[in-house]
Structure 1
Amino acid sequence: MKKITTLALATTFGMFSMGSHAAENFAGLTWGESTINTDRSSSLQQNMPGKNRFDDTIKNSGTWGVRAGQMTDEARYYMTYENVSDDYGSSLKLRQQNLIGSYDMFVPLGDSTRLFGGASAGLTKLENESSGYSRDSDIGYLVGLQAGILQNVGTNTSLEAGYRYLRSNASTEVSERGVGKLGSIDLHSSKQVYLGLNYHF
């Protein structure tokens, strides 16, 4: 984990020196599905025994995002804001918001198609919005990797499909109203598959 964190941060914060190649700006939208993996504290495992149902809140859940950055023929860097919210049954509900800086390198597959792979680092906000529980939120870091394929469509637009895996240290308390704190959940990781539409200018 420490090596991944160091690599992601070094790559992301070094992405602003892309060389002397002419860069173009781009902005776009993404839509995909996210799944999270959480860990429960020992007290929460005792108070809410059985399967970790918080893992079933954001599970293949619709996720939208907006992004903007710069791109050359060899690489790109960009910032992304993402939002996903979902529930399990009628009681447990979580929301995750991400602000991510990413850097990708390209491998061309012809004149208009490129594979990409890179690293990301940023912040995530995890919110417990479960019915019958006190609302709580926490902001933690995100580090991870992504890969996919980018296809130019016309002069000023491109489409992409990608996969992203992120590790995090965000956590939130679980307190039942009228009872008190039951424990806490830690956001261990999240994964996402997505489609993106970019406009170049």
Structure 2
Amino acid sequence: MKKLSTLALATTLGIFSFGAHAAENFAGFTWGKSTVNTDRSSSLKQNMDGKNRFDDVIKNSGTWGVRAGQMTDEARYYMTYENVSDDYGSSLKLRQQNLIGSYDMFVPLGDTTRLFGGASAGLTKLENESKGYTRDSDIGYLVGLQAGILQKLGDNTSVEAGYRYLRSNAGTEVSERGVGKLGSIDVHSSKQAYLGLNYHF
């Protein structure tokens, strides 16, 4: 029994040593284009007739992010902070900030190239910074999926191209100064195509 316990302990330590050796930390940044689709309340539809102009605010807008995590030959998990802000015309402006936890599985295409696909979940903050309107913000959840391709350039660097689709429940009130509340908007979904550069250590 003592020999069996010793063998089990040695095996367990060996597995953890292999896992620690196989995994590597990485950090990097991303740059891409995001589009956010919103839903309007019935009162906002009445007070702001016509097309949903809030859908034109963050539309193919530049988005930057920073992230860090761990990676093995089979998978990776990481945290990402993203920020996107844009305006429409001279009045409407929105900002969205995301804090996302993600997990990806790898499919190798060779020694240095991998396809990846996975899921994400986290929090998002939507801010209405429109000129002539009262500023308002809300924090909600987000969930989604991502996929892409990762290419290692050497022992310490890799680049990737990916696409992410997210659903969220964050929303803000739309109140015109001197008039009052016109209604509200809610984030329905957002999509993003991005490029990333990672440093492995």
Q: CA deviation at 1:20?
A: 3.5
After superposition, give the CA deviation of every residue in 1:79-136 in whole Å (9 maximum; x if it has no partner).
Answer: 0000000000000000000000000000000000000000000000000000000000
Separation in 1, partners of 2:51, 2:24: 48
| Aligned counterpart, 2:170 | 170
| Aligned counterpart, 2:6 | none
Q: Which runs of 5+ in 1 are unaligned?
A: 1-18
Separation in 1, partners of 2:19, 2:118: 20
Report the count of equivalent residues. 183
| Aligned counterpart, 2:75 | 75
Separation in 2, partners of 1:200, 1:189: 32
Aligned pairs for 1:42-53 within 5 A:
42-53=42-53
Q: Which runs of 5+ in 2 are unaligned?
A: 1-17
Separation in 1, partners of 2:50, 2:166: 26
Separation in 2, partners of 1:152, 1:111: 9
After superposition, give the CA deviation of every residue in 1:29-80 in whole Å (9 maximum; x if it has no partner).
Answer: 0000000110000000000010000000000000000000000000000000
Point out the structure with the larger helix share.
Answer: 2
TM-score (norm 1): 0.90
Q: CA deviation at 1:155?
A: 1.3
Aligned pairs for 1:1-201 within 5 A:
20=19, 22-201=22-201
Separation in 1, partners of 2:154, 2:72: 17
Bigger Rg, which one: 2
Code of the residue aligned with 1:24 in structure 2: it is E
